Amino acid sequence: MNQQGAPQLGQLVRNLRGRDAGKLAVIIGVEDERFVNIADGDKRKFDQPKKKNLLHLELLDIISEEVAGSLRETGRVTNGKLRYAIAKYVENQPSAEAQEKGE
């Protein structure tokens, strides 16, 4: 299984497989030890999360406190907050990753 720790709400992930390979998203729900629900607030909205196998995701060591707090308090998060969390992560990365995001 993953060498990383357990997935957490608000944690950023990178898709490794599928149509969205290379794209960033945020964990908005943990189904069980193998599956999580992810959304990016853009193509994949909060109301239509994607169920992904953890083997197909790279768990990044960034947890968005805004997203995690909102999910804990209300059980929901706005798509804007998801986009903001991803944008904030991208702008703090070296330029190679920013170019990769631009596709």
Domains and CATH numbers, the chain: 11-102 (2.30.30.140)
**Which element (helix H / strand E) includes 6?**
none
The helix/strand count (H/E) of the chain reads as: 3, 5
pLDDT of 1: 39
More confident position, 57 or 99: 57
Whether residue 95 is predicted with pLDDT greater than 80 in this model: the reply is no
The amino acid that residue 73 corresponds to is E
pLDDT-based confidence at 96, cuts 50/70/90?
Answer: low
pLDDT mean across residues, the chain: 90
pLDDT of 101: 54
- CA neighbor of 7 nearest in space, from 62, 46, 49: 62
